Every structure is written in C-alpha cells, then in structure tokens.
Chain A
Amino acid sequence: MLYEHVVCAFCGCVCDDIDVTVEDGRITQAKNACVLGKAWFLDHGKPTDLPAVRIDGQAASLEEGIDAAASLLARSHYPIIYGLSSTSCEAQRQAVALAEVLGGCIDCCTSVCHGPSGMAVQGVGEPTCTLGEVKNRANLVIYWGSNPAESHPRHMTRYAVTSRGMFTPNGRKDRTVVLVDVRPSPSSRAADIQLTVRPGKDFELLWALRALVQGQKVEESSLADTGVTLEQLVDLAGRMKSCRFGVLFVGQGLTQSRGKHMNLTAAFLLVRDLNRTTKFALMPMRGHGNVTGVDNVLAWQTGYPFGVNFSRGCPRFNPGEFTMVDVLRRGEADAVLSVASDPVASLPNSARRRLADVPVVAIDTHDSETTRIARVVFMAATAGIGVEGTAYRMDNVPLHLSKVLPTPYPSDEEILSRLLARVKEMKP
C-alpha cells in the first residue's frame, strides 16, 4: 500500500510530501524523507510486543493504568506535565486541561529549545512569514546559530536555499546564503559567506549590526572580542538592507548561549529595523515535529506558550519558576507526567536527579530512559503514523497528520482524556 503526501512529524520542517510504503504491516519505505525522517517512519513503524500499560514494571490493563496514574497525580501537591512536542495538538489540548484540573505546572520542550525566542517575541513582537514566502521570495537567507544540514536536513532544499519559487526561479543562484556560527559545520558548504563569531558574543554582534543598519558609526575596537571584523559586518549590513526579501533563521546557538532571550530580542529588533528599508522576517528553527503546535495550543488556552502554572486557579507564566528544569532542580515537583518526551535522557543532571525521587507517569511511543524509571507507563500510538492529528510547522502553518499503520496502542489524546476524566472524579 502506498500513501502519498504523508506528513513527517519528526522535526519542525514537517515536510508534507513523503510517500510511505506499507508492506505486511510495516513501513518499508519513506520516499522523499531525509535521514531523520526515514529513521522516524521506519523505526516508529516497527511492530512491538510491549504491553500497552505497565505499573511498577508489570503489565496492566488500560483501566488499571488510568486509575494508578490518576491517583498518583491527584494526590500530588505540585505536579508538572512536561514534553508534548512530539504529539498532536489534540493531545496537547487534553494535557492543558489536565494541568488546570490538577492545579499544577505544564511545560513543553520549548523551555529548553526556543523558550528564549518566545520571551523575545513577547517583548518586541515577531516579524515573521511562512516558509512558502521564503521559498518564493527570499533572496537573502541567513542562518544564525543553526546547523540545518544536521538538525533540519531538508530545510535548505525544500524551503530556503536550493528550492525554486515564483520570484526565485533559479533557486540557489537567486539567493545569497550567510551562516553565522561559532564553528564551521556541515551547513557551511551551502553558504556564500560564513562569519565565525566567538562563543557568547552574539548579542554584541547583533547590536552592532543594528547600529550599522541604522547608519550609525561602529568602532572596529568594539568588535575586538567578537571574532568578526568591521569590514565583514558592514558588508553583511549592506546586504541586509539591499536585499529584496531577507529571512533570518535563528537556532539554539542563540537561545542556549549567554544572553539567551536578549540575544533573540536583539535579533528581532534588527529585523524590525530592517523592515523600514526592505522586507525581512525572522523564524526560529524549531526542533521537534510539533513543538510549534504545543506553543500555539498553550498560548490559545492559557495565554502563554510554555512554563505555565495553575496552582492559584488561573494560568501564570514565569520562565525560571514554572519551567521543567527549574521545578525539578529546586526539588519542588512531587509528581511528573511526561508526554512524548524523554526528560531523563535530555535534561541536565541536577534536574533529572529529581525524577528518580518522585513518582513519574510516562506516555510515549517507545521505551526510553524515562519509561524505565516511571511508575506507570502507557505505550501510545505515534501521531502521524498510528493515529491522525494536527501538527504545526515551524512557520505556524498547521498540517494534518495521517494514519498509515494499524496500532494496538491508544493515542496520547485518548490516554490523556481518560486520565483527565478520572482525575476530575478524584478531585471534584
């Protein structure tokens, strides 16, 4: 059986042109998918004999699992729901409702990828566009602190660099590509210009670019520690001002480095300044397949994109207080519900240590470091392979996820909605 135009929900590119072949109940081919997408389709499509529910390592029924998980969460005083970036928006909605009923925290992988971008957007606004506009119009493409060749392998070919569009009919020849990073990377091969910035000096460079774009004088000495010369920066500022349509893609090189949300604030302000002269947009290179979706769901349901707390009965937002790493590191969480995520394998040691001390409920599509320590484990159908749903591409365009394989497991949405109903009975 061939399924055409299937959406890949591994990374933020959310490519919607994958042709998936299913033979004997297995995915045998994912045509057009990149190396990451192929691994996602082929490995998530493998049959598994893991029980749908485990309680303390023992197989249990779904009903027993719901009871046990609801009991753990309902008894807790400061639970946190975390992850959600690799599941459907429909499941994310149930998770937000559950956090509200529990009076706990809800945070997503955004807090450890592009949370600082979200904070900058709240402060200064977001001059953005769709990837379709990039493909059709952009003649200056800048990647800053990003290595798309490895993190988003089809980003350059499908959307931003070699793709041919309405006003970029010659594809690569119609675009200038600039890479700003602390190191040469596999993406460097695709760049016309590479600027190698010293670690932690992104803010200084972005601020100097703002000055140059505004026609102000910048002293060479002020750039001494940045690794970039004034001549290089003047050249880049000139290209930015004179391009027809520019786009700045920002990666975790900015969000995870010293300065964090201030780096992003500087980047957004630079792009805002450029729009006085030409058309320019900024887009975070979102990592997980539906991390953009969970930001949207959280924002439309609570007003905030991540790090939300309901303990006072209304949503409050405070990065550093209600975010996963902080809640764990300070030893505040007394129960954790992990959804479509692996915090044990992905968080800093000081945060993940807490996960061994508190009851953990894990909902995931496969076994992980987190499911191995969880008291209650639900195996779920993969959104986009075993169950339909909605995912948001990194440019905030929602796309429909298909079902291409039968699965013995329930969806995240079903597990969470049943958990919500049971917790409501326990916490009227």
Chain B
Amino acid sequence: MSERKLILITGRTTHQGVGISSGKHLEEYQTATNVVQFSPADMQRFGLHDDDMVRLKTIYGTATVKCRSADLPEGLAFLAFGPAANQLVGGETHASGMPDSKGFEIELEVLSA
C-alpha cells in the first residue's frame, strides 16, 4: 500500500452527460463516474496500470474507483461528476453557495497494482 497527494478536478464528460438522460444506474454512467484519470507520469510513479483500483480520500470522505491514464499534467487527477466525486467534495461554500468542486487535494491509496 502506498499513499500520495494529488490535486483533483471534477467535471463533465460525454458519457456522464449521456447517463443523465439514459439512466444513472446503467453501466455507461457508472463506468464514466467511477474512473479517476491520472497523468502517465503519475501512473508510473505509483506503479499503476489502467483499471487498477485506488482509494481517494479527502477530509470529507473516501471513494474507491478504477484508475486510467490520460493526457493530464503531472500531479493533477480528473474524476467525472457523480456519486464518487460527491463523496470527496466538501459542503463548505465560503458564502458563495458553490462547493469547492475543483482543485482540491486528495490522498491516493493504491489498492491493487
């Protein structure tokens, strides 16, 4: 087991958007929202391969998801909006109404590699 810190961005993807209409219980949406993307450099640094399982942690919660390599800057992770992302985002809005959904620190625990 190894632990690392990264900056997480949550956001829209095509498959996540399709799932809003097609059904959030369907495989397309579940797959789209339960895969975190890392840069190739981070994948290598953590000894990860596509579809390995990782646990992401913030002070608000944890999410267990698959990981996949993507064209991202080193140190940045991307996770589509959805139930897993909701576990990690805090509810504090700093008097704006808007939670901090992008650019927050996560701790990475490698579960299988």
Contacts and interface: CB of A to CB of B under 8 A. Distances in A.
A319 B98 CA distance: 8
Contacts of A319: 93, 95-98
A39 B21 CA distance: 6
Given A182-B9, A350-B91, A345 B83 contact: yes
Contact of B76 (A119, A183, A260): A183
B5 interface: no
A112 B96 contact: no
Contacts, number: 148
A294 B11 CA distance: 22
Contacts of B100: 256-258
B98 A182 contact: no
Contact of B97 (A39, A111, A253, A345): A111
B36 interface: no
A368 interface: yes
Interface string A215-230: 0000000000001000
Chain B interface mostly: loop
Interface in B74-113: 76, 78, 81-83, 86-87, 89-103
Give the interface size class of chain A.
35 or more
Contacts of A328: 91
Interface in A287-330: 287, 306-307, 319-321, 323-326, 328-329
B47 interface: no
Contacts of B78: 183
B31 interface: no
B17 A112 contact: no
B95 A44 contact: no
Interface in B1-58: 7, 9-14, 17-18, 20-24
A119 B96 contact: yes
| Listed residue (A39, A186, A342, A348) with the most chain B CB atoms within 10 angstroms of its CB | A348
Given A39-B17, A252-B11, A349-B60, 4 more contacts: A43-B21, A43-B23, A258-B103, A306-B97
Interface of B: 7, 9-14, 17-18, 20-24, 60-61, 71-73, 76, 78, 81-83, 86-87, 89-103
20 contacts: A35-B18, A36-B14, A111-B97, A112-B97, A115-B98, A151-B12, A183-B71, A183-B73, A183-B76, A199-B103, A256-B102, A260-B98, A321-B95, A329-B91, A345-B86, A346-B81, A346-B86, A347-B91, A351-B99, A369-B24
